[in-house]
Structure 1
Amino acid sequence: MLPNQAQAPIEIPEEDVPQDQLWNALDRGTQLEKIRQILKSHERIGERILELRREEGMRLPGGFQVERLVEILEEHYGGEKLLDIEIDMMQKGILSPYYNETKTYFYYFRC
């Protein structure tokens, strides 16, 4: 193409690109990313619970117990809140109210 020639914008006929499908695909991608983040938070919260219990010199829950502790938090606060719970536990450590809540739940497991 010569530098003096103006390039016309590419036009795509509307009937060739279903807009609803495009928006649904974008929305689906956003939802998948959010789910991926929630699942990663779920894992990291479990790891953080173990770290904090080690730090306090407390008995460590087993793998299924850690999983259940995180599930209880998820059931109580909702899956999307797990991202905030993870941040809170990372910032506040043993002072996190969510972490202290898991100590109570673990106590009930032991009874």
Structure 2
Amino acid sequence: MPCFRCGARQTDPVRGASPWKRGVRADRQVLICPRCQAEHDWTAELDQCDACGSTVLTCRLGEVECRDCGHTREAVRDDERPGDLVPSGGAGPVDADLSQEVAAALSRVLKRGPVR
């Protein structure tokens, strides 16, 4: 998953805690790269807990949970979301590129011929 602001890809982690941060934006789990953490007020762009206002949220299995107070709510599905709330991070549409990268990686790992 790329950084939601700049589209940078996370590389293989080194031992220890990851310098990348997680958050929830428009009811979707996002990652924030170390560079964007240093250069931008990225917490202002994240969703906040309805109960306590914290931005330390996690999104899983259709629910958004606050890691500070434990408040849980149902995540809004994209087809129910108004158009102005759809996530619009700096990464843009990368699905085609990502699909090609995954196919190439699988071919290398499984020692297949070139991807067509």
What is the TM-score of this pair, normalised by structure 1?
0.22
Bigger helix share:
1
Q: Which has the higher contact order (CA 8 A, sep 6+)?
A: 1
User: Could you say which structure has the higher strand fraction?
Assistant: 2
> TM-score when scaled to structure 2?
0.21
